[in-house]
Amino acid sequence: MNENQLSAFLAVTVPAVVHRIAGQLKIGEITATEMFYQSKVYEALSDEKTKAWHFSANTLFAMFQEEQTTGDFQWPEEAF
């Protein structure tokens, strides 16, 4: 995947994850966006080499929730 394709994917996927975060935590979208951008999940997602862009918004949200609870996240089985 080239940089333009990754950017296009992030432009669609990130808002979906942020929307789930805002809804689940009952916070504003701006706060949810800041939280997601500061997460290890987003760091992995924005690195094309991790191939995290293969995951659905639901999977990424679950990974984010795990990170918020435990301080880290496990890669889903589908990653292997």
Q: Is the pTM of the predicted complex or chain greater than 0.85?
A: yes
pLDDT-derived band at 3, boundaries 50, 70, 90: confident
For 17-67, the pLDDT digits (tens) are: 999 999 999 999 999 999 999 999 999 998 989 989 889 999 999 999 999
Q: What is the pLDDT of residue 16?
A: 97
| Assigned domain for 80 exists | no
Q: What is the pLDDT of residue 13?
A: 93
Q: In angstroms, rounded to a whole number, what is the distance separating the alpha carbons of residues 32 and 25?
A: 8
| Assigned domain for 52 exists | yes
How many domains are contained in the chain? 1
| Assigned domain for 8 exists | yes
| Assigned domain for 19 exists | yes
| Assigned domain for 79 exists | no
Q: In angstroms, rounded to a whole number, what is the distance separating the alpha carbons of residues 31 and 27?
A: 7
| Assigned domain for 75 exists | no
| Assigned domain for 74 exists | no
pLDDT-derived band at 9, boundaries 50, 70, 90: confident
Q: Is 60 in contact with 37 (CB distance < 8 Å)?
A: no
Domain of residue 34: give its range. 3-69
| Assigned domain for 76 exists | no
